[in-house]
């Protein structure tokens, strides 16, 4: 009985970690996209002048 509870706890911890990593990856993608847009705008601004 104890081993089943351990397994469930392990699964729940794993799920929480996976969700955390997914959120971090999503955040990283958003930040990268924003930085890329800013960089492109700066480059365009420099080239236009």
Q: Residue ranges per domain, the chain? A: 1-49
pLDDT at 47 over 70: yes
- pLDDT, tens digit, 9 for 90 and up, residues 27-40: 999 999 999 999 99
17 against 2, higher pLDDT: 17
Rounded-to-5 percentages of helix, strand, coil across the chain: 95, 0, 5
Chain segment 4-28, per-residue pLDDT in tens = 899 999 999 999 999 999 999 999 9
**What's the pTM value of the predicted model, to 2 decimals?**
0.61
């Amino acid at each position: 009985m104890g081993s089943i509870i351990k397994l469930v706890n392990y699964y729940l911890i794993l799920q929480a970690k996976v969700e955390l990593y997914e959120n971090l990856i999503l955040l990283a993608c958003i930040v990268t996209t924003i930085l890329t847009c800013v960089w492109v705008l700066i480059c365009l601004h420099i080239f236009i002048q």
